[in-house]
Chains A and B, each alone.
Chain A
């Protein structure tokens, strides 16, 4: 699975970085930097939750 954030939608609330601290850190403007795109299967549920909780629906999960 791969984690992709649509930068045109993201408003930098940072909810995702709290849930997915292994994968996402925030830059100095509080926008997410995806440090690791590939998400391990064991974190799939967490990723799905983060995608649901993003207020802008900016997070997509790409299955590959």
Chain B
């Protein structure tokens, strides 16, 4: 087990770890286990220069062995923050033990292809050195020959670029990180699309019989994880697994960045300690009358707050799993009384159907049919037929795409008709419980979908 390396550095406590030192305009002192860290403009309040970064977090820990690193990350139970929530130590071990003649490659994914997400760009803009520390440590451990940071946001790109230069000028000897620009598009963040793009191909998913951990970028064992995951690695290897877990047991007990959007008074990025309840988070976000929350982003699942005790359960991944939910890509979408969650889901489905990479038949043909069926249900035009079509089309699409895209859409659709069975019933009788107009609060800004096609 690793000792905390630097006695002169106080390990950050409370919910503000990743967001240490970020100035928050509205609420400088975080309350309880939820810290509001930025509004959705996600402008950097303070790009932490290297000297301040080192003063706040300490120097890069040295003298680590792969065994120590794996044991520590395993004890910490850090899970990936990009969506799949896979234990990071397992990923690292798979790459470290891959049988390959090629040296491993490390990729930090900051492309944030979920259009509602802001947390990764914000992290890169405010705290680029923490992410670079994590990449540096992991690349060093693996003996990687190349490391990449895949990023879409322009300001984040600039901040990381400056941080890389600063590190070189200050004489930090480490593997040089290459920044690769991520194009727009929902599927550009899919694992194999990232690998292809960095390999100078199109940012489209690719079908492969091998996992990227054994054969990824140019056939090399490839470790790819979300930028927030790397930031946590940088802290865990400094302050230890115990610190990370905050004394908690079971699941991933670290803090996490969440983008909270929708029908709330204060949408933005929050840093959350596990154990805070959904009610606490919604209160902090000024949600006046929340009805439902979409957990995890567009491929997520709903929780209907009308069901008993739903807002009380602690927001940690074990409690979430009991409700069949997960943090996914770290996005929570709140729906109030103004809009209908079924209409919201239909709009998202239409948006996602339009984001297909157009490579696989079942995705290309099936998603528009699923979208049309959802529109029938949402618009109360022909709910019976919509439900019937969902039942017949979903089996023709599920598990038949070259990437997770269609299965993600199906997860959203299933969760919608499951969680809001009563609402669907209401739609059957031509009504809808939304008190406002039929617009969406969860569509990406600028997306124009008409939930049409159900004629």
Contact = CB atoms under 8 A, between A and B. Distances in A.
20 contacts: A4-B209, A6-B402, A7-B363, A7-B401, A8-B205, A8-B206, A8-B207, A8-B360, A10-B360, A11-B361, A12-B361, A27-B362, A27-B396, A29-B361, A29-B362, A29-B396, A30-B361, A33-B396, A60-B209, A62-B209
Contacts of A33: 396, 400
Nearest to A10: B361
A62 B359 CA distance: 22
Contacts of B365: 29, 31
B361 A7 contact: yes
- Enumerate the 7 nearest inter-chain pairs by beta-carbon distance, A residue then B residue, closest first: A31-B361, A8-B402, A7-B360, A8-B359, A6-B207, A29-B365, A7-B402
B207 to A, nearest CB: 4
Most buried by B among A4, A9, A60: A9
Contacts of B360: 7-8, 10
A29 B367 CA distance: 12
A21 B359 CA distance: 24
Given A7-B400, A7-B401, A27-B396, 10 more contacts: A7-B207, A7-B363, A8-B204, A8-B206, A8-B359, A8-B360, A11-B361, A12-B361, A33-B396, A33-B400
Nearest to B366: A29
Interface in A1-44: 4, 6-12, 27-31, 33
Most buried by A among B205, B209, B361, B402: B361
A10 to B, nearest CB: 7
A7 B359 contact: yes
Contacts of B359: 7-8
A4 B396 CA distance: 17
Interface of B: 204-207, 209, 359-363, 365-366, 396, 400-402
Most buried by B among A11, A27, A33, A62: A27
Nearest to B397: A27
A9 B366 CA distance: 17
Decide if the interface of chain B is mainly helix, strand, loop or mixed.
loop
A14 B204 CA distance: 24
Decide if the interface of chain A is mainly helix, strand, loop or mixed.
loop
A4 B209 CA distance: 9
A28 B361 contact: no
Nearest to B208: A6
A31 B359 CA distance: 12
A60 B396 CA distance: 21
A34 to B, nearest CB: 9
Contacts of A6: 207, 402
Contacts of A11: 361
A33 B402 CA distance: 14
A4 B400 CA distance: 11
A57 to B, nearest CB: 12
Nearest to A60: B209
A39 to B, nearest CB: 15
Contacts of B396: 27-29, 33
B22 to A, nearest CB: 41
B383 to A, nearest CB: 23
A26 B386 CA distance: 24
Contacts of B361: 7, 10-12, 27, 29-31
Nearest to A30: B361
A52 B363 CA distance: 25
Nearest to A31: B361
A13 to B, nearest CB: 11
A28 B392 CA distance: 11
B245 to A, nearest CB: 40
A29 B392 CA distance: 13
Most buried by A among B204, B363, B400: B400
Nearest to B393: A28
Nearest to B392: A28
A6 B192 CA distance: 14
Most buried by B among A30, A31, A60: A31
Nearest to A32: B361
A31 B207 contact: no
Nearest to B204: A8
Most buried by A among B205, B362, B401: B362
A6 B205 CA distance: 11
Contacts of A27: 361-362, 396
Most buried by B among A4, A6, A33: A6
Contacts of A31: 361-362, 365, 400
A30 B361 CA distance: 9
A12 to B, nearest CB: 5
A11 B359 CA distance: 9
A3 to B, nearest CB: 12
B420 to A, nearest CB: 28
